[in-house]
């Protein structure tokens, strides 16, 4: 099956949800990547989308971030539309907390990473630590931070500017700040600076993003998808982040897959299988994976 663009892929017990950004819809696939159902279409009505860009799961609900319509749609695991919820500002990611409700990463509150969205209104959550604040001189930068919630109720934000994982307790108190591995972080920040300069400087660049996915795994660890832009290629890889042991463990694919398949999107499905979006295509394939620990 072909897609206009693959904005996000989410694994579920029965298969996969795929957010098609340019042909606004949600496509349900089975475990063999065969289409089961197409839900939604372009529009502003219930169950319609302008640009579905992020998918998240919370128990028996699938959340769809539709930035074009400024809202989040809630679907069942079968893809049926339930309801939608308005969100503030420009949003980059979403997560549903069992106690706090909907958390939206974006620019609604400049001093905080997140907006907490409830029926009573929107409130700021997750204050940005002073040492991680970046003065952009009043320039508009598209929000690129990512958010996920682990089973223990902790809220984890990937600070896209500083490439740091900032964790909060449900009461909003800062729990920890963990930077990505030194070499990875230095390479990504240099790449971002070079991209800004090549495109005319920060006054002409709305945003660059090297970490494009942050998700929680069943064992409490996190998954991060990282993209490297090089002069002759784009390489995407996955890291499993263990906050207790402070390890970043890369995913390893079969040798035949490493050169082409991992140049596109990498979406983890458990700890032994990944869904890949090979570079230059708008299709999907699966591949076995393994984790290889290394010193960081």
Q: How many CB atoms lie within 10 A of CB 244?
A: 7
Buried/exposed code over 254-280 (b: 16+ C-beta within 10 A; e: otherwise) = eeebeeebbbbbbbbbebeebbbbbbe
10-residue stretch averages of pLDDT, the chain, 296 residues long = 88 94 95 95 95 93 96 97 96 96 95 96 96 71 88 95 92 94 71 65 53 88 77 66 88 58 68 74 79 55
Q: Please state, in angstroms and rounded to a whole number, the distance separating the CA atoms of residues 264 and 266.
A: 7
User: In a 3-state reduction of DSSP, which class is residue 180?
Assistant: coil
Question: Helix or strand or coil: residue 288?
Answer: strand
Q: What is the pLDDT of residue 258?
A: 45
Alpha-carbon separation of residue 96 from 14, 149, 172, 183, 288 (angstroms): 21, 7, 15, 32, 29
Residue among 88, 46, 94, 44 at smallest CA distance from 69 = 44
Determine if the pTM surpasses 0.75: yes
**Residues with Cβ within 8 Å of residue 111, at least 6 apart in sequence:** 124, 127, 128, 133
């Amino acid at each position: 099956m072909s897609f206009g663009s693959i904005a996000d892929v989410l694994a579920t017990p029965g298969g996969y949800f795929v957010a098609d950004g340019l042909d606004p819809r949600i496509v349900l696939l089975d475990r063999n990547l065969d289409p089961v159902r197409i839900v939604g279409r372009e529009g502003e009505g219930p169950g319609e989308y302008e640009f579905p860009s992020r998918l998240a799961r919370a128990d028996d609900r699938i959340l769809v971030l539709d930035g074009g319509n400024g809202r989040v749609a809630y679907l069942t695991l079968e893809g049926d539309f339930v309801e939608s919820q308005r969100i503030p500002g420009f949003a980059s990611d979403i997560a549903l907390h069992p106690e706090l409700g909907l958390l939206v990463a974006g620019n609604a509150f400049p001093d905080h990473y997140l907006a907490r969205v409830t029926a009573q209104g929107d409130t700021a959550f997750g204050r940005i630590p002073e040492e991680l604040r970046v003065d952009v001189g009043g320039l508009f930068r598209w929000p690129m931070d990512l958010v996920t919630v682990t089973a223990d109720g902790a809220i984890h934000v990937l600070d896209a500017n500083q490439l740091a994982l900032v964790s909060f307790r449900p009461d909003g108190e800062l729990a920890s700040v963990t930077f990505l591995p030194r070499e990875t972080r230095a390479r990504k920040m240099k790449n971002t600076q070079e991209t800004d300069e090549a495109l005319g400087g920060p006054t002409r660049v709305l945003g660059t993003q090297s970490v494009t996915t942050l998700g929680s795994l069943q064992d409490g660890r996190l998954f991060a998808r990282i993209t490297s832009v090089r002069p002759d290629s784009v390489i995407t890889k996955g890291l499993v982040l263990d906050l207790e042991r402070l390890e970043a463990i890369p995913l390893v694919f079969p040798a035949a897959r490493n050169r082409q398949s991992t140049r596109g999107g990498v979406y983890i499905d458990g700890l032994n299988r990944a869904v890949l979006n090979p570079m230059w295509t708008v299709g999907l394939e699966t591949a076995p994976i393994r984790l290889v620990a290394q010193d960081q």
